[in-house]
Amino acid sequence: MYSLRYSKTYNFGIVENNSLKHVYEDKFIANSNMFCVADGVTRDFPDNTPLKYPKTVEEAEDMIARYPNPSGSAKAAQICVDTVISYLENQSIVNSQVLKNAVKIANEKIKKLNEGRKINYLANDYYNCVAVGGVIEDEYLKCFAIGDSEIKVLDEDLNVIFDSGAHLNDDAGILYDFIKMLFPNKWNWKNNSCRRYIRKYVRNNRWLKAIGRNNIGSLTGEKKALNFLSTYEIPLKNAKYIFAFSDGCSPLLKTKTQIEEVLKNPDIIKNSTCEKTLVIYEKV
- 168: confidence class by pLDDT, cuts 50, 70, 90: low
- 175: confidence class by pLDDT, cuts 50, 70, 90: low
DSSP states of the chain:
-EEEEEEEEE--HHHHTTT------EEEEE-SSEEEEEEEPPPPPTTSPPP----SHHHHHHHHHHS-SS-HHHHHHHHHHHHHHHHHHT-SS--HHHHHHHHHHHHHHHHHHHTT----SSTTPPP-EEEEEEEEETTEEEEEEESS-EEEEE-TT--EEEETTTTHHHHHHHHHHHHHHHSTTT--TT-HHHHHHIIIIITT-HHHHHTT--TT--BSS-GGGGGG-EEEEEE-TT--EEEEE-GGGGGGSSSHHHHHHHHH-GGGGGGSSS-EEEEEEEE-
Can you give the pLDDT at residue 144? Answer: 97
Can you give the pLDDT at residue 89? Answer: 97
* Whether residue 9 has pLDDT greater than 60: yes
More confident residue, 208 or 252: 252
More confident residue, 57 or 206: 57
Mean pLDDT of 56-68: 98
Can you give the pLDDT at residue 190? Answer: 85
Which tens digit of pLDDT belongs to each residue from 72-100?
999 999 999 999 999 999 999 999 999 99
Q: Mean pLDDT in the chain?
A: 92
Mean pLDDT of 231-246: 97
pTM of the model: 0.94
What is the percent of the chain with per-residue pLDDT over 70, rounded to a whole number? 90
* Whether residue 208 has pLDDT greater than 80: no
More confident residue, 276 or 212: 276
